[in-house]
Amino acid sequence: MSKKTIIVVGAGQGLGNHIAERFAKEDFRVLLMARRAEALNQYQQAFAEQGYETSTVPCDVTDVESVKAAFARVHDEVGTPDVLVYNVGITTPDEQPLTEQDIIRHFTADVVGAYSCIKAVVSDEFAAKRGAILLTGGVACLSPFPGYLCLSMDKGALRGLALAMHNELEPRGIFVGTVMVCGIVGGNEHFAPANIAESYWQMYQDRKDWEVKYE
């Protein structure tokens, strides 16, 4: 039986790579996506040293053509994946003064990019494999932080996207869910990335609730 494949969009030394590692421990092939090829090469080497089968594809989620090209390359190299994780989010404070252009830039990365990746991965083959799409949410959508207007709005929109896609794709056998992180990733031991990553694995296995709060 061939290995299952997980794509993690928004790979990084924080939560993204820990989610990938959690699935790799279950014998998943890992495919990491992020903007910087140099960083991806470092991540791939670290995963290889642990004996995990890993490949990388650079992708700028704010560029629709980049997303299309990245997922076309994935299809050519590893075929249809089993899991897509969207872990992209601009978590820095708002620019001051905050402009409409700033809001659009944040929204494009945090939400539109998620939609582009979902659109790129959903297919009859993905449905036949009972594919899963997991999005990284945040408590800012319910309890906005001062100075983080963009993050608060975007996580609210991402939450709406998760529910809408869950309802739309569930009849096809595709699961869509979101893990709402109710704290600062790495802020303390409980919110250590490896601990949060466990929620993604559990959601993938359960395929039950469209939203799980890690608090």
Q: At what angle do helices 113-121 and 64-78 cross, to 10 degrees?
A: 30
- Contact criterion met (CB below 8 Å) for 163 and 120: no
The CATH code of the domain that includes 88 is 3.40.50.720
142, exposed or middle or buried, with CB in 10 Å at 0-12, 13-18, 19+?
middle
Q: Which two tokens stand for residue 14?
A: 């924080």
- In this prediction, residue 26 carries a pLDDT of 97
Under 8 Å between Cβ of 179 and 89: no
pTM (2 decimals)? 0.96
pLDDT at 2: 80
Q: How far apart are the C-alpha atoms of 157 and 204, rounded to whole Å?
A: 22
Per-residue pLDDT for the chain (215 aa), expressed as one digit of tens each?
A: 589 999 999 999 999 999 999 999 999 999 999 999 999 999 999 999 999 999 999 999 999 999 999 999 999 999 999 999 999 999 999 999 999 999 999 999 999 999 999 999 999 999 999 999 999 999 999 999 899 999 999 999 999 999 999 999 999 999 999 999 999 999 999 999 999 999 999 999 999 999 999 99
Q: What is the span of the domain harbouring residue 118?
A: 5-214
pLDDT at res. 200: 98
Give the pLDDT confidence score for residue 1 in this predicted structure.
57
Res 212: pLDDT: 98
**Residue 115 neighbours by CB under 8 Å, 6+ apart:** 161
Q: State the total domains in the chain.
A: 1
Are residues 161 and 168 in contact, defined by beta-carbon separation less than 8 angstroms? no
Coil, helix or strand for 88?
coil
- Please name the amino acid found at residue 33: M
| pLDDT confidence of residue 124 | 98
Please check whether residue 209 is in contact with residue 200, taking contact to mean a CB–CB distance below 8 angstroms.
no
94 backbone dihedrals φ, ψ, rounded to 5°: -60, 150
